[in-house]
Amino acid sequence: MKFLFKLIVLPILSILALPLIFLALTYKSVSIPIDDFEGVTAMPLSQMVDEELDTFLTSNDSNSSIGINIAQANANAMLKAQFLDINDKYLDENATDDEKNYVMKEDFFGYQGSWVRMKDDVIEIESGLHVFVGGFTFKTRLLIAFKLEVSTEEVVLTLDKLTVGNLPLAWTFSTVSWAAERITGQDIKGLIDEQLNGLAEFDPQKREIRIQVDTLLEETMSDDPQSLALIRSLLAFIEENDLLDIGFVEGEFEARLKLGKTRDVDTPIVVISEAQKILNDEHL
């Protein structure tokens, strides 16, 4: 009997247990980080740059710079603004539970939203999802974490984590590539490269997407060769004079252009009198 139990019953129990194990590993309840969404107004990047430029022009020295800082709260405020376009009652305490707790809710699922966490040089994007089956709510989350490296020559995104619930899946890329090749006749690298449309290359072994800045400019500005040449010259000037600082500082993404380094501090400033100034057309 013990032999039959091991031969027949144990394999059956193991097969039946696999879906339960999968559900247990992928089940995870997440709470919307309301504090990250509240109290911060999303500022357009153009406005951020305008303010920095105004400050620089008003008062500057050889150490002055202009740039943008995107903190975790700023990134989440931008996301919330997008979610409110979909559901204007999202996170509204006076709304119903379905309206305030979901960006969108259908009969079979509810999307809680997505939020960003910045840790050193890693960006985490977590999304909450509820699936409704009968009277049961299956709760899970998708967590994507990647490292970001940016320079004037290239942008590199490296996948650090891919987790559904508590089940890590980043290590499955080779298996996914094999399955994709069997089903579609094309491996995952080919599929992703096709979606990137030549703007970037995907390396499944390193789990990274590498975007060449010059290729991106050429593809997006091919119809304006003069502007393309100007931007290429500016990038070359910035690279040659080490004017760009970009990366993560104390958990914030920061990009700063050190324009103060281009300031001529040796040539004396010439001050002209009011009589010498050209104030209108008649003076010309």
pLDDT by residue (tens digit) across 111-164?
999 998 888 778 899 999 999 988 889 999 999 898 888 887 888 888 888 888
Which pLDDT tens digit goes with each residue over 239-253?
A: 888 888 877 776 678
Residue 139 has a pLDDT of 93
Cα radius of gyration (the chain) = 27
Residue 5 has a pLDDT of 47
Residue 198 has a pLDDT of 72
- Backbone φ and ψ for 56, nearest 5 degrees, come out as -65, -45
Which pLDDT tens digit goes with each residue over 64-79?
A: 777 777 788 888 888 8
Calculate the CA 23 to chain-centre distance. Answer: 29
Q: What is the pLDDT along the chain (284 residues), one digit of tens a residue?
A: 555 445 565 566 566 666 677 677 788 888 888 877 776 665 666 677 677 777 767 776 777 777 777 788 888 888 888 899 999 999 888 989 899 999 999 989 999 999 988 887 788 999 999 999 888 899 999 998 988 888 878 888 888 888 888 888 776 666 666 665 666 666 667 767 777 777 778 887 788 888 888 888 888 787 888 888 888 888 888 888 888 887 777 667 887 877 777 765 565 555 666 666 666 666 55
**94 in Cβ contact with 110 (< 8 Å):** no
User: How many angstroms separate the first and last alpha carbons of the chain?
Assistant: 111
Measured CA distances, 246 to 29, 117, 149, 160 (Å) = 35, 18, 8, 20
**66 in Cβ contact with 74 (< 8 Å):** no
CB atoms within 10 A of CB 30: 19
**113 in Cβ contact with 32 (< 8 Å):** yes
| CA–CA dist 269, 77 (Å, integer) | 44
The single-letter DSSP state of residue 59 is S
**254 in Cβ contact with 69 (< 8 Å):** yes
| CA–CA dist 168, 174 (Å, integer) | 14
